[in-house]
């Protein structure tokens, strides 16, 4: 028996140690190296010196970095709201008694499986040629030129593309939430006069709050890290109005000679992501407790 | 039970909504088949059906983007990552899941790995570009290795969560028969986790297949492309020949579309399982 116990312990260690080593090697070590680079003036090649906290101090006075945070958060918040409202509506429709239910569910999930980069390219064409042509036809002056070339509207184009794909995912999650609501809840509610909007507000929504939390966390995290859509639609332009944080780190860090400075940016970004995620989980944890 | 009437309002909303999904795909299809001379600046010119359904654009796009090589790379990377993820992450999920409740070491390792979920690629990308170059891993093999690391937090969480439902008694019975832990795992536990393997396979495959950033950062100098990376790298070569570009986009979407049509049910289940757990 004792031999058996030791055998089990040894096996578990032999499984855990190499896999943990792999994880440390390609996740923890690069993370630490990133933090170390953030205290240097490394350009990505050649010699470098320690600069202490200078990168961090510069970061907070750098207009371009500030702009990218503003853009990324604006995009993440607006897209999250748009996506969740629309997916909830779609999920309610898809969960009601309709014909060809499985066809609709399958079709509505389609955008999610397509690569974001290629979807971005397709929409790029749509915004550049199709939308202006439509605007021309029906006479909307504001849309006669591509919104992607307008510094104050380009972010809306990116929002649309992000939403187009994310709605598919969130809808499917809301549907699985709606399916957990038992039919007799509605029947009992109906007797008390809860129908339509009232039914949704007092019965349905409170019961699917856990799914709402999942969607919020997924959305915010994904949109804060937005990259492919930027690459395909605007490459950060026009006039650097759509540079997301990830895009700025990639662009200036990998090829712009700001390896050290953008490492500091990445460290701050990491802290921001952790803070936002933890805050969201605390908040949604509290909400669920109240029920 | 009363017989339910079809919800007409919902049907109308759904049909209208569907057009926003079909329109971009329809646009891709017709533009991919047209000749540049057929493209006029009016809507009807862009969206009308092509005069002839010729495959010439596709043939040319395949040549320009070296389609078959990119497809081979994408398949190689995705299939290897999925196979390795199922083997490695389920083992890790098993080791951690079975021990984290009574061992400080294992519960620390579990938290350590799962919290890797919060590490954005942006902070790893520059050090990893350096590190993979130093180790001679700036190629498809390095990309696979990195994916196995990147998806470990999520998959370990899923596997060890699933393990809670598998009673210890099953393992103990095998032990009485004299089987080693290793053997018991592969003979009994691994097959029982099949539903979770499907979830992990779907989530990992979709994420890897469509990922641009990792191959872009790691494989940029290797002269190799994945399907999405090829779209990015050859974008400038298409110039204003949108027909060629769209043929190439469509080509890169076809494999995943086929996969979706064939395994739609498993994909939807997998995605929901992964997100909800």
User: Residue A1: which pLDDT band, with cuts at 50, 70 and 90?
Assistant: very low
Q: Which of A9, A13, A15, A48 to mutate to test the interface with B (most CBs of B within 10 A)?
A: A15
Q: Which tens digit of pLDDT belongs to each residue from A48-101?
A: 889 989 999 999 999 999 999 999 999 999 999 999 999 999 999 998 888 888
Indicate if B104 and B147 belong to the same structural domain. yes
Cβ of A98 within 8 Å of Cβ of B231? The answer is: no
B112 and B241, same domain (yes or no): yes
Measured distance CA(A210)–CA(A180) in Å, rounded: 11
* C-alpha–C-alpha distance, residues B118 and A219, integer Å: 14
CA distance A172 to chain B (A): 7
Where does the pLDDT of residue A288 fall: very low under 50, low under 70, confident under 90, or very high at 90 and above? Answer: low
Which residues of chain A lie closer than 8 angstroms to B182, CB-CB? 11
Question: How many angstroms separate the CA atoms of B246 and A290, rounded?
Answer: 51
Both tokens of B249, joined, read 């986009």
**Interface membership of A48 toward B (CB under 8 Å):** no
Query: Is residue B236 in a domain?
Result: yes
Q: Indicate whether A153 pLDDT > 50.
A: yes
Gyration radius of chain B's alpha carbons: 24
**Model confidence over A206-218: pLDDT tens digits?**
888 889 988 998 8
pLDDT in tens, B45-64: 777 888 888 888 899 889 88
Instruction: Give the rounded distance of the alpha carbon of B180 from its chain centre.
Output: 35
Does residue A262 register a pLDDT over 80? yes
Asked if residues A122 and B249 have their Cβ atoms less than 8 Å apart, the reply is yes
The three-state secondary structure class of B165 is coil
Interface test with B, best of A86, A123, A125 (most B CBs within 10 A): A125
Same domain, B170 and B45: no
Q: Does the residue B3 lie in any domain?
A: no
pLDDT digits (tens, 9 = 90+) for B60-74: 889 888 899 999 999
Number of domains composing chain B: 2
Say yes or no to pLDDT of A166 above 80: yes
Chain CA centroid to CA A6, Å: 45
Per-residue pLDDT, A256: 82
As a whole-number percent, the residues of chain B with pLDDT over 70 amount to 97
Query: What is the band of A145 on the pLDDT scale with cuts at 50, 70, 90?
Result: confident
Whether residue B119 is found in the same domain as residue B250? yes
Mean pLDDT of all residues in chain B?
89
Residue contact A115–B24, C-beta within 8 A: no
Interface contact flag, B245 A89, Cβ < 8 Å? no
Note whether residue B199 is domain-resident: yes
User: Which whole number is the average pLDDT over A261-287?
Assistant: 89
Percent of chain B with pLDDT over 90: 61
**What is the average pLDDT across A232-238?**
91
Q: Is the pLDDT of residue A146 over 50?
A: yes
| Nearest-10 crossing angle of helices A2-23, B90-99 | 130
CB-count burial class (<10 Å; 0-12, 13-18, 19+) for A289? exposed
Instruction: Say if residue B133 is in the same domain as residue B25.
Output: no
B39 domain-assigned: yes
CATH superfamily label, A64-290:
MetI-like (1.10.3720.10)
Q: How confident is the model at residue A120 (pLDDT cuts 50, 70, 90)?
A: very high
* Same domain, residue pair B140 and B242: yes
Rounded Cα distance, A52 and A63, in Å: 21
State yes or no: pLDDT of A46 exceeds 80.
Answer: yes
- pLDDT, mean of residues B204-225: 90
Q: Which residue from B96, B148, B228 is facing A118, i.e. has the nearest CB?
A: B228
B93 and B215 in one domain?
yes
Closest to A123 (Cα-Cα) out of A164, A75, A153:
A164
User: Do A166 and A86 form a contact (C-beta atoms < 8 A)?
Assistant: no
Q: Is the pLDDT of residue A290 over 60?
A: no
Flag whether pLDDT at A291 surpasses 60. no
| pLDDT band per the 50, 70, 90 thresholds, residue A2 | very low
ipTM of the complex: 0.90
- The answer to whether position B79 is within a domain reads yes
**Cβ-based burial of B37 (10 A; exposed 0-12, middle 13-18, buried ≥19):** exposed
From chain B, the residues in CB contact with A43 under 8 A are none
Distance from CA of B110 to the nearest CA of A (A): 10
Q: Are residues B37 and B123 in the same domain?
A: no
**Given CB atoms, is A262 within the 8 Å cutoff of chain B?**
yes
Between chains, do B256 and A113 touch, taking CB under 8 Å as contact? yes
Enter the pTM of the model.
0.91
Q: Which domain holds residue B49?
A: 8-54
- Which residues does A159 contact at the CB level (< 8 Å), separation at least 6? A75, A78, A79, A82
Identify which has the larger pLDDT, B38 or B193.
B193
Same domain, B95 and B22: no
Question: For an interface test with B, which of A13, A107, A117, A173 has the most B Cβ atoms less than 10 Å from its Cβ?
Answer: A117
Q: B40 and B174 in one domain?
A: no
Q: Report whether pLDDT(B241) > 90.
A: no
Q: B248 in a domain, yes or no?
A: yes
Query: For position B2, what pLDDT does the model report?
Result: 46
pLDDT band at A203 (very low <50, low <70, confident <90, very high): confident
Are residues B118 and B17 part of one domain?
A: no
pLDDT in tens, B88-143: 999 999 999 999 999 999 999 999 999 999 999 999 999 999 999 999 999 999 99
Residue B245 has pLDDT above 80, yes or no: yes
Pair (B81, B37) in one structural domain: no
* pLDDT for A286 beyond 80: no
Q: Is the pLDDT of residue B276 over 80?
A: no
């Amino acid at each position: 028996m004792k031999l058996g116990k030791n055998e089990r312990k040894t096996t578990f260690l032999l499984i855990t140690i190499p896999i943990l080593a792999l994880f440390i090697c390609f996740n923890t070590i690069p993370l630490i190296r990133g933090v170390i680079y953030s205290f240097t003036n490394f350009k990505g090649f050649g010699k470098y010196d320690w600069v202490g906290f200078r990168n961090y101090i510069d970061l907070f006075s750098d207009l371009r970095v500030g702009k990218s945070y503003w853009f990324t958060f604006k995009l993440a918040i607006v897209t999250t709201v748009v996506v969740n409202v629309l997916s909830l509506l779609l999920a309610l429709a898809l969960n009601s008694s309709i014909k060809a239910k499985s066809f609709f569910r399958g079709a509505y999930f389609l955008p999610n499986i397509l690569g974001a980069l290629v979807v971005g390219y397709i929409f790029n064409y749509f915004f550049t040629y199709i939308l202006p042509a439509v605007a021309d036809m029906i006479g909307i002056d504001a849309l006669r030129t591509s919104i992607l070339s307008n510094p104050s509207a380009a972010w809306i184009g990116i929002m649309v593309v992000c939403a187009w794909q994310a709605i598919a995912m969130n809808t499917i999650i809301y549907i699985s939430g709606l399916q957990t609501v038992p039919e007799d809840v509605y029947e009992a509610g109906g007797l008390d006069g809860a129908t339509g909007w009232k039914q949704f507000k007092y019965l349905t929504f409170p019961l699917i709050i856990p799914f709402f939390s999942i969607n919020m966390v997924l959305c915010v995290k994904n949109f804060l890290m937005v990259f492919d859509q930027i690459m395909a639609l605007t490459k950060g332009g026009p006039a650097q109005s759509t540079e997301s944080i990830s895009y700025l780190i990639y662009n200036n860090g990998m090829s712009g000679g700001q390896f050290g400075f953008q490492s500091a940016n990445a460290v701050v970004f990491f802290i921001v992501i952790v803070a936002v995620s933890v805050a969201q989980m605390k908040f949604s944890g509290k909400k669920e407790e109240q029920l | 039970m009363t017989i339910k009437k079809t919800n007409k309002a919902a049907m109308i909303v759904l049909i209208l909504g569907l057009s926003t999904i079909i329109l971009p795909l329809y646009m891709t299809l017709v533009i991919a088949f047209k000749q540049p001379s057929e493209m006029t600046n009016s809507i009807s010119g862009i969206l009308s059906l092509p005069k002839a359904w010729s495959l010439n654009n596709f043939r040319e796009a395949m040549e320009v983007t070296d389609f078959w090589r990119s497809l081979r790379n994408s398949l190689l990377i995705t299939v290897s990552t999925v196979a390795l993820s199922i083997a490695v992450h389920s083992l890790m999920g098993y080791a951690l899941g079975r021990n984290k409740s009574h061992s400080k070491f294992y519960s620390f390792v579990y938290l350590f790995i799962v919290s890797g979920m919060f590490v954005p690629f942006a902070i790893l990308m520059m050090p990893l570009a350096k590190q993979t170059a130093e180790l001679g891993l700036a190629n498809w093999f390095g990309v696979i290795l990195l994916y196995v690391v990147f998806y470990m937090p999520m998959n370990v969480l899923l596997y060890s969560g699933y393990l809670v439902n598998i009673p210890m008694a099953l393992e103990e019975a095998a032990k009485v028969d004299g089987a080693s832990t290793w053997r018991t795992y592969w003979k009994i536990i691994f097959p029982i986790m099949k539903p979770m393997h499907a979830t992990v396979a779907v989530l990992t495959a979709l994420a890897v297949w469509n990922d641009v950033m990792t191959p872009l950062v790691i494989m940029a100098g290797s002269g190799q492309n994945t399907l999405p990376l090829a779209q990015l790298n050859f974008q400038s070569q298409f110039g204003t020949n949108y027909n060629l570009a769209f043929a190439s986009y469509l080509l890169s979407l076809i494999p995943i579309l086929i996969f979706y049509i064939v395994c739609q049910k498993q994909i939807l289940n997998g995605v929901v399982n992964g997100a909800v757990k």
